Amino acid sequence: MNKQVIYSTKFQKHYSKRILNQKKLLRKVEKRVELFCINPNDPLLNNHRLKGERNLLSSFSVTGDYRIIYREYSDHYSFLDIGTHNQVY
């Protein structure tokens, strides 16, 4: 069973602001989220746990610079933020 993805309000806001108006980036995000849902550990995603105060969160790569920050729960993933490395960290 694949876990459901829930999009936080902050994620939705930043997605609309940073991603929606860039068609190539939008397609890339859609493909990476789809890949994440199929196999979160696919090497293309560079999926990893964050450190320090954010150690309950993880991140995966959309492009070289764009990331999605999320938290994994037993029954779902909560996508918390999306943006460039500098925007999300």
Number of structural domains in the chain? 1
Residue partners of 80: CB distance under 8 A and separation at least 6: 8, 10, 11, 57, 69, 70, 71
The average pLDDT across 54-71 equals: 97
In this prediction, residue 49 carries a pLDDT of: 97
Domain range holding 69?
4-88
Q: What is the tens place of the pLDDT at every residue in 2-37?
A: 799 999 999 999 999 999 999 999 999 999 999 999
In this prediction, residue 1 carries a pLDDT of: 59
In this prediction, residue 53 carries a pLDDT of: 95
Residue partners of 25: CB distance under 8 A and separation at least 6: 19, 62, 63, 66
| CATH number of the domain enclosing 24 | 3.30.2310.20
Q: What is the tens place of the pLDDT at every residue in 67-84?
A: 999 999 999 999 999 999
Compute CA distances 25 → 17, 19, 80, 81, whole Å: 12, 6, 18, 15
